[in-house]
Structure 1
């Protein structure tokens, strides 16, 4: 069999050399033909130059794609999946938080007939607050979304050619891979591994990025928040009607009295804030429709040493821009 390892990279100059050395050491012990598919997501440091050097040193076992700018990890993973030509494909990060030593176990499980072999990391080493928030988030989000999302499960996984073809066939612009992996289904097995520390560089996941990623997970695979907006509106309308009847009854019985201004201001501010949240929610869905209708490519390729399938528009751009 042939194994492809897809490695999205963004500003990984400091660690990518060690990653390449370690993963080749592991793959060299296995009875498989392999290729490494690096995807440079518009890095601002010397990552691309390091990848070029690795490709020159290792010949046909190294393929790479470099974007014209930073398009994000989702686009980088999609580009890698399109570029990979193996019977099985492994997705992993270049920072060595995904231990290359687990590849052998993944292949053993793949040989048993599984289309997705998922490595689920433990929360060891994470800050207690972050672990607690993560558990609460996944518990809440799984009550909403149409697919199952698992805490600790990320992009580190092996996919069969069948699963890869299914993922590549999904044309949506706003991609949330955690949900897509679950949505395609197929025979799946999960195993746990101990969390590893990043060996170099800085994490790309800041607080704001995590919040945005969490919102993507909440609304990418369901429309229930819009249904909640309807229920909230009906509930508020009912409360307003009941309050109006109570005011009329009190006026008939005891005459008209001056209402409390504090209560009035609190109600106006509260309802105004709720309306803004609902408008923002509706706007988020409309914005996603807006981007889908543009039908822009997920990424633009500046340079590549491989040849992606010709039916992908990104591949045609790569054919003109590649060196």
Structure 2
């Protein structure tokens, strides 16, 4: 390998990005490789973009960045980073230092043994007991459904060979679930464990609602079994309804017509209505994904970019960029 690309999605990481860059360069500088760091600003609302401009000015030959026109999400940011990366291998890691930069050397050692994917699997040290239990339950349950294997503790922190990166870039789908895509493309994969590190600054963007939606994406992105379940559930309920109707008919013929069971009737109506709404929502989720796929919109829009070969951010020209800098520093009224 002659060059390594490090892809770093960033969203409101102003407080930690300089520290991350310094630690990562210290590690990369001690390795016998050429490297580049590809930052992707996912529409940050703080000063992340300004810090990336400063890093590009300080290290123009080894820094590239793109900045989105708005927040498109981490999946889009990783895709943009993979498109920017020019290395023979690519490491994807977060900017909050929960992915220790010193593990890059270990990844390269395993990569040199012929592995195409080197995956870092974090432990659960420091996580709340409830979150750990829910996570383990989710992965056990979801792996009974999806067509790929999802591993608890395995995220985006990994090294990808160029063939793997190219394979991921060849997948045009709009609704991307990278955990599943990494597993789906296959190739020779090795996993190692590392101790969970605390976030050094800022706050996590993964709130409970975001995690819940992300888990739902994982459930339905790689299979249609929930729809198959809906069919069998419908058949089962229809069968139970038929048996209940037969029982009521026989009971009326044998013992005569009695006062109907109001509570039972209401319970059945409410229960079946709830099941129908869930199934309609499930079908709607799949149809919604088809709807977004048919639009063929780009995964993201870039408002500014810097490449090592360029002297100024693109598509901004040099004069416009200089004026923006002067405005930020209060030199122009």
TM-score for both structures, normalised by structure 1: 0.95
Number of equivalent positions: 314
Q: Residues 322 and 190 from structure 1, CA distance in 2 versus in 1: closer, same or farther, beyond 3 angstroms?
A: farther
Q: Distance in 2 between matches of 1:267 and 1:152?
A: 41
Q: Which runs of 5+ in 1 are unaligned?
A: 309-317
1:20-31 equivalences in 2 (<5 Å): 20-31=21-32
Residue equivalent to 2:145: 144
Residue equivalent to 1:41: 42
Residue equivalent to 2:65: 64
**1:260 offset after TM fit, Å?**
1.7
Residue equivalent to 1:296: 297
Q: Distance in 2 between matches of 1:210 and 1:220?
A: 15
Residue equivalent to 2:81: 80
Residue equivalent to 2:134: 133
**1:263 offset after TM fit, Å?**
1.2
Residue equivalent to 1:117: 118
Secondary structure in structure 1 of the residue aligned to 2:223: coil
Q: State the 4+ residue runs in structure 1 displaced beyond 2 angstroms.
A: 318-323
1:123-202 equivalences in 2 (<5 Å): 123-202=124-203
Deviations 1:193-215 (A, max 9, x none): 00000000110000000000000
Q: Residues 101 and 245 from structure 1, CA distance in 2 versus in 1: closer, same or farther, beyond 3 angstroms?
A: same
Q: Which runs of 5+ in 2 are unaligned?
A: 319-333
Secondary structure in structure 1 of the residue aligned to 2:60: helix
**1:190 offset after TM fit, Å?**
0.2
Q: Distance in 2 between matches of 1:273 and 1:55?
A: 55
Task: Say if 1:19 and 1:94, in contact at 8 Å, map to a contact too.
Answer: yes
Residue equivalent to 2:331: none
Q: Residues 86 and 258 from structure 1, CA distance in 2 versus in 1: closer, same or farther, beyond 3 angstroms?
A: same
Q: Distance in 1 between matches of 2:274 and 2:35?
A: 55
Q: Do residues 282 (structure 1) and 283 (structure 2) align? A: yes
Q: Distance in 2 between matches of 1:21 and 1:304?
A: 21
